[in-house]
Amino acid sequence: MGFFDKLKAGLTKTRENISEQINTVFSTFVSVDEDLYDELEEALIMADIGFDTSEYIIEELRGRVKRKFITRADDAREELIAVISDIMSQCDSRVDISTVPSVILIIGVNGVGKTTSIGKIASHYASQGKRVMLAAADTFRAAAIEQLDVWAQRSGCEIIKHQEKSDPASVIFDACSAAKARGADILICDTAGRLHNKKNLMAELEKINRVIERELPDSAHETLLVLDATTGQNAVSQAKLFGEAADITGIILTKLDGTAKGGIVITLARDEKLPVKFVGVGEGIDDLQEFVPEDFARALFDTE
């Protein structure tokens, strides 16, 4: 099965949730009027797209319908799909690995699939012939280093690690030095997943970023936040909180195949201006792939 088919299958619950709500509205109306817009906005909110984003979608739809002199509800449905596709395409979902080495810093709370995502991303790039190195800078959680070590072995990547409770920035320093010395293409850095003390998290991430900027000043640098799609709007709240502690460049969205709440991808793109850069639609090592907005929009409404 190709990744688009996996994405489409993974979006089944989300597609049913959104399409069912929207189709119910459109089957009730023949022509476009204010009641249609009200019902549609409510349907979008119920589909876990969020109030602000739903309001924006309706206003965009209203403008397009007016400009194109659309009167039939069926034609308005096609415009609605176009509005959502445009929102998804506004953010750049490409991962910047334009330099050698490129740095990908991974952040996120424990339990969202952070370490697993790192392993799968490492495998993804290693399969393309890239030399990938991992940095085990989550020295706070006992099993994190061991977990990452297992993924390094599975994906055939080198790993830089220290003892538990070591200074995370010192791990990053050694990893940056090793990446330069050994000719790594990509350095993927794990970080601690605690959020209960935002001040400590912010200080730690600032220190890590200072090390990266000092040691690899010319490197492409992504900071990707791992979010669990099954948590819906709570994932958006996490994005806001982490956004206050770090300069996030994109999202890794895990467990999309297990939820009806995939509409948060639209909310993240519209409200938070955060592109999804990787998406997970299964348990397999190749079920986390680079995100293509057009494919998502197509899979979301493709009922064939």
Q: Which of 67, 89, 111 is the C-terminal boundary of a domain?
A: 89
- CATH number at 9 reads 1.20.120.140
* Residue 283: predicted pLDDT: 83
The verdict on residue 9 lying in a domain is: yes
For position 160, which CATH number holds? 3.40.50.300
* Count: domains in the chain: 2
Domain of residue 43: give its range: 3-89
For residue 145, is it within any domain? yes
Query: What is residue 249's predicted lDDT score, i.e. its pLDDT?
Result: 95
Q: Which residues contact 58 (CB under 8 A, 6 or more apart)?
A: 37, 40, 41, 44
Same domain, 232 and 277: yes
Enter the pTM of the model: 0.88
- Please report the pLDDT score of residue 182 as a whole number: 96
Is 97 inside any structural domain? Answer: no
Same domain for 66 and 173, yes or no, is no
Write out residues in the chain with pLDDT < 70, as ranges.
1, 195-197, 302-304
Is the domain of 18 the same as that of 42?
Answer: yes
In a domain, 94, yes or no: no
**Residues 208-235: pLDDT tens digits?**
999 999 999 999 999 999 999 888 888 8
Same domain, 165 and 17: no
- Domain presence at residue 173: yes
